Amino acid sequence: MLSIYGPWIGFHVFVAVALAVDLGVFHRQAREVRFKEALLTSAVWVALAAIFAGGVWVYQGHEPALAFLTGYVVEWSLSIDNLFVFLSLFSAFATPVHQQHRVLFWGILGALAMRAIFIFAGIALIQKFHWLLYGFGAFLILTGIKLVAVEKREADPRSHWLIQTAKRWLGFTDSYHGSRFFVRSSGRWLGTPLLLVLLIVEATDLVFAADSIPAILSITRDSFIVYTSNVFAILGLRSLYFALAGMMSSFTYLHFGLAGVLVFIGVKMCLAEIFPVPTHYSFLVIVVLLGGAIAASLFRGNRSPART
């Protein structure tokens, strides 16, 4: 029994300790996360993911380890799109810089729980209804096409239906109250704008999970590999946001790379029974698509005239 659940228990102990140290030691007091600190923390999370992949290689073999790395890269790349939403959200609600880490911390904690439900439900459904693979594949292809074919329009997060519903059921203050999500005023509990931002962060992750979970299930159906690669990518998402917050406008062609990844994975799922693509080829294609989009964006940025 211990040999079956040992890796699960050990992994969750590691996650719990990492989150406790993060919030209880390094960010006990609300403060602004500087670029160098965010870059270093991002590097630490990437290094931990690489070490974990090495452990998977030793104990399970090279195929599961490569599946973990591929799933990690897919989830990490799709999460970048999430960062643009966070940037827009914090700007719309004028969230103080030193409170943004707290929102992302609790938002990602909720994301971990939601991803676990999505992953295990998705694996169970595919095992019972194999034809769902083709549905997931078609969905990813359409999502990838939509990403480049449909013009994006900036929506005001404050008009989101979830915000309007929350305001109908619960009173809210007009201003922030430090790092508090609730305050007591005139004998009743009121939510703060920080709670509204957190609600949108959770709702956003729920939407993005609809893309990322089917994508990673096309790589492997091993629940431990799928779950751990998702968790590592999500845990590094906060640091990645603070490291890239000032550079996001530079990734002009990133959505083309993400669209290519989604279409490739969708086609791979639809043709899995006829033409199965080995994991190492999938990994190579995904890295080339994303790397090419990032390189093209940076090249364009260097060629563009300086702007004030």
pLDDT single digits (tens) 29-59: 666 667 777 788 888 888 988 999 998 898 8
**What is the tally of helices (H) and strands (E) in the chain?**
11, 2
Of 104, 47, 32, 81, the closest CA to residue 232 belongs to 47
Cβ proximity of 196 and 92 under 8 Å:
no
pLDDT of residue 170: 78
CA-CA-CA-CA torsion for 112, 116, 118, 121, nearest 10 degrees?
Answer: -170
pLDDT tens digits along 97-126:
888 878 888 888 888 888 888 888 888 887
- DSSP secondary-structure letter at 171? -
Q: Is the pLDDT at 2 greater than 60, yes or no?
A: no
The pTM score is: 0.76
Residues in CB range of 171: below 8 A, 6 or more apart: 188, 190, 191
Nearest-angstrom CA–CA distance, 278 and 67: 10
3-state secondary structure of 18: helix
Judge contact between 237 and 82, C-beta under 8 A.
yes
Reported as a pLDDT band with limits 50, 70 and 90, residue 307 is: very low
